[in-house]
Amino acid sequence: MLKFLKRNKKEGVDDIVGGVESPPPPVGFFKKLTQGLTRTRQGLVSKIGAVILGKKIIDEELLAEIEEVLLSADIGVLVTKGIIADLSGQLKRKQLNDGKALWAALQAHLQALLLPVTQPLHIDAMDEPYVILMVGINGAGKTTTIGKLAKHLQTDNKKVMLAAGDTFRAAAVEQLQVWGERNQIAVIANAKGDSPSVIYDAMQAAVARKMDVLIADTAGRLHTQRNLMEELKKVKRVMTKLSPNAPHEVLLVLDASIGQNALTQAIQFKERVGVTGLVITKLDGTAKGGIIFAIAKTLQLPIRFIGMGEGIDDLKPFNGVDFVDALFSEGDTHDKF
């Protein structure tokens, strides 16, 4: 059976049952994560707990009931099949003797799914600005995420500059400038320029001012999906004229509340513009947070950050152990088995 990490609520640290110890998140964030996942918990974990409770025998019929819950919770067919196959194998090996063992096995499997994609963004010192290209569909929270990411990097003592590359929406430029003022960060914008030229100018400015990081916004919607992708490819080509290694990170912002549509978007962006990392937003208040498992399994891309609120400090590095632990923690259903 896969081993897992369990958070000690009183001490705020991880009790090691198996694997490698991970550092505790900032004080208060685990509680916020737990609260933010309430609706997802109700649609997934609580329903599974209700299926397991009262069952004296763990058998294939029970696993079939769990499968139905998983399929209805935006986890997706691929992940569901993997979970049920894993549990069935453990059942045949007589490793699932009671509900508590089944509960632990399910939690461990979900943590194992997220472990490979738990890769925080690390920016080492470079001879040139580290360029982050932000992509995603309008409405996913891309521009807001840029403001929060800038704040996060500032707390790490990085000198940050922003590029208002979404020239197709005047509101996006204005919104980014507000974030720049709030964080006291320079924003390079040009209402008359196109996205590639604005970002080119921003890269030159970032070099001249010896910035550590340049975060570039981009359009989220043009007349057609093809036009959007071609525009993003053009932006990347223009970047390489100033720096062969730019962009150093292509962060795709996904809205968890749209469920399977977020996965479809991610597949398209990964194939066409070379996404290197993900930011999952709007996990608080949605019942579709289970999509994160489908995204992790299908794309196998690092999930750099998750968004759990509207505040400037509500963008946090992703940790799969914390995420699953928070998802399973509320209500202590496992203590009832």
Tokens describing residue 214: 């340049």
Q: How far is residue 271's CA from residue 303's CA, in Å, rounded to a whole number?
A: 17
Partnered with residue 306 across adjacent β-strands are 280, 316
Domains of the chain by start residue, with CATH: 28-117+325-336 (1.20.120.140), 130-318 (3.40.50.300)
**Mean per-residue pLDDT, 304-318:** 90
| Residue 218 in this model has a pLDDT that exceeds 80 | yes
| Residue 32 in this model has a pLDDT that exceeds 70 | yes
Q: How far is residue 28's CA from residue 301's CA, in Å, rounded to a whole number?
A: 27
* % of the chain residues with pLDDT over 70: 89
| Residue 128 in this model has a pLDDT that exceeds 80 | yes
pLDDT by residue (tens digit) across 5-27? 444 443 333 333 333 345 555 44
Are the C-beta atoms of residues 273 and 229 closer than 8 Å to each other?
Answer: yes
- Look at the block and give the residue holding tokens 């289970």: 290
